[in-house]
Amino acid sequence: MRFIVQKFGGTSVSTQERRNMVVNKIETAKGKDYFPVVVVSAIGRNGDPYATDTLINLAKSVGVEPNLRELDLLMSCGEIISCVVLANTLKKRGHECKVFTGGQAGIITDDNYGDAEVIRVEPKNILECVEKNIIPIIAGFQGVTEDGNITTLGRGGSDVSAAIIGEAINAEVVEIYTDVDGVMTADPAIVRDAKVMETVFYNEIFQMAEYGAKVIHPRAVEIAMRSNIPLMIKSTLSEKNGTLITNYDKSRRYRHDKEDKLITAIAQIGNRSQFKVIFDGSADQYEKDTILFNLIAAERISIDMINIYPDIKVFIVDGTNESKLKNILKSQGYNFEVISNCTKVTIIGNKMRGMPGVMAKMIEALSDNNIEILQTSDSHTTISCLIKSENTNVAVNALHKKFELGTNK
């Protein structure tokens, strides 16, 4: 049996017209001799009647915060509603199907409500459906604990559901359907000539997600990579090929020649705050690297772009933690400076590894547009620059043009 897992996001099932398009995609898979296993997200987005955020706001509207167990129970409802409505659409077109919650589909998790980890998958119910030629329709974003409590897998968790089910049934491919045509070279809301990429490596997608691109849940990529299952990012609304996420594919491989691009994509993440902690004796015995960073870690504040010098420590934090960290540092007497409203802009590409001149080219693109670089960091496949958020759009467009990501060259 050739399995394909097809995951449809909330916008894909938000109207009857779009649900009919979803059924077309399922029928296309069957026409290619795949047996489709379908995973569905909650209908729509915040404000829509059955969207997850709408349900959360409804629970909070009485003025009491629901506990995490009950909140997960509530949040699981949106996907179940989507599944039942889509199942009826399939039945109307003559297809037998059966709806499962994540737990009924065999997704067993720990009890970390709101961001549960999958322990194992027991796909018995899925496989029994397949034997009877019944299409399983599975509620994404959720699982169940060993003792029967419903859990959710965190934001974007339906991607994780699709990947983990694909792994459990040894699917040939996992298709992630959304409202865009594939993975873009940059945010199309910022760069008008951003292009859909034909093929992207797993580790590049990891980097894109980490550095701010809203592509696919990183855990879904991790699962697919360890199982060597190709992922396809496609649009429900078109018949375009989409983006293949894989290690290597003969039919859609990177060309290792002079026309191949050095940089794959550009990502950005805003609302960063840069801290410079100055060791000038103000904090006395607290002016030790281990004390400073353990103090920050104890407050569960994540730091990034870390540069350590004998008398200055520089790093960034999520802007939502700025006030909290200021208070912590003040309480211990540290002398520090803060630059708020920053953006971390990152260029990503496997082929920059060991290639001289990439940083120079990036700096040149920003300098030509009078954009001050506040800080840099890099790895083998990424280079990041911290800039003021007011310059984000100009910076991303300048880098996209500099590295010729909008051209076919």
Count the neighbouring beta carbons within 10 Å of the beta carbon of residue 241.
13
CA distance 95 to 87: 9
Give, rounded to a whole angstrom, the gap between the first and last alpha carbons of the chain: 41
CA distances from 27 to 34, 94, 129 (A): 10, 11, 17
214 is in an annotated binding site: yes
145 is in an annotated binding site: no
25 is in an annotated binding site: no
CA distance 10 to 62: 26
52 is in an annotated binding site: yes
122 is in an annotated binding site: no
215 is in an annotated binding site: yes
250 is in an annotated binding site: no
Q: What is the 3-state secondary structure (H, E, C) of the chain?
A: CCEEEEEECHHHHCCHHHHHHHHHHHHHHHHCCCEEEEEECCCCCECECCCHHHHHHHHHCCCCCCCHHHHHHHHCHHHHHHHHHHHHHHHHCCCCEEEECCCCCCEEECCCCCCCCEEEECCHHHHHHHHCCCEEEEECCEEECCCCCEEECCCCHHHHHHHHHHHHCCCCEEEEEECCCCCECCCCCCCCCCCECCEEEHHHHHHHHHCCCCCCCHHHHHHHHHHCCCEEEEECCCCCCCEEEECCCHHHCCCCCCCCCCCCEEEEEEEEEEEEEECCCCCHHHCCHHHHHHHHHHCCCCEEEEEECCCEEEEEEEHHHHHHHHHHHHHCCCEEEEEEEEEEEEEECHHHCCCCCHHHHHHHHHHCCCCCCCEEEECCCEEEEEEEHHHHHHHHHHHHHHCCCCCCC
CA distance 11 to 41: 9
401 is in an annotated binding site: no
7 is in an annotated binding site: yes
Q: In what order do the strands lie in the sheet with 118-121?
A: 118-121, 107-109, 142-144, 150-152
Pick out the residues of the known binding site for substrate.
Answer: 52, 79
Pick out the residues of the known binding site.
Answer: 7-10, 52, 79, 178-179, 214-215
Pick out the residues of the known binding site for ATP.
Answer: 7-10, 178-179, 214-215
